[in-house]
Amino acid sequence: MPQKARLILLNALPLNAIQSECSTILCRKIQLSEVVELIMNYDVENYIRHESTVKLLAKLSGKDLKPSSELYKHEDRDILVIITLKRPIRGQEVEVTEEDLEAYLCIIVSSDVRINILCKLLVETLKVQRLLP
């Protein structure tokens, strides 16, 4: 029986979280209302540290979400929701509103044979063009 998908909340996608040598990342921009619906319908693992963003998501969804500084490691069943500030302000803690955020729904495909073939083809093409040794 297949394992249930995990809904992962991130503020960015750390590429070192992907264990596969070759993967494809598929993303679609979504509305914050869609994020809230997903949070309400899945068990959520939150990896967002920004307190104001987490508070807003908790308020909108009615879920008990806490800021987290844990490191995310990708699993094949993960559904990623990446929530970012439209205009990041570095070095300051800001209170965010719904209008300050944008969101992306992403999946990472790494176990597909076709993906591995395309990655090998990419490497060979770069070698032929002498862009790789």
Predicted confidence (pLDDT) per residue in 115-125, tens digit: 777 777 777 77
The domain in which residue 52 lies consists of 6-128
Mean pLDDT for back-to-back runs of 10 residues, the chain (133 residues): 80 91 88 94 93 96 96 91 87 84 91 70 76 66
Amino acid at 20: S
Q: For residue 34, how many other CB atoms are within 10 A of its CB?
A: 14
% of the chain surpassing 90 pLDDT: 56
CA distances from 14 to 46, 64, 71, 100 (A): 14, 24, 9, 22
* CATH number, domain containing residue 54: 3.40.50.11170
Name residues whose C-beta falls within 8 Å of residue 25's C-beta, 6 or more positions apart in sequence. Answer: 13, 106, 107, 108, 109
Q: Residue 133: inside a domain, yes or no?
A: no
Q: Residue 39: inside a domain, yes or no?
A: yes
Counted domains in the chain: 1
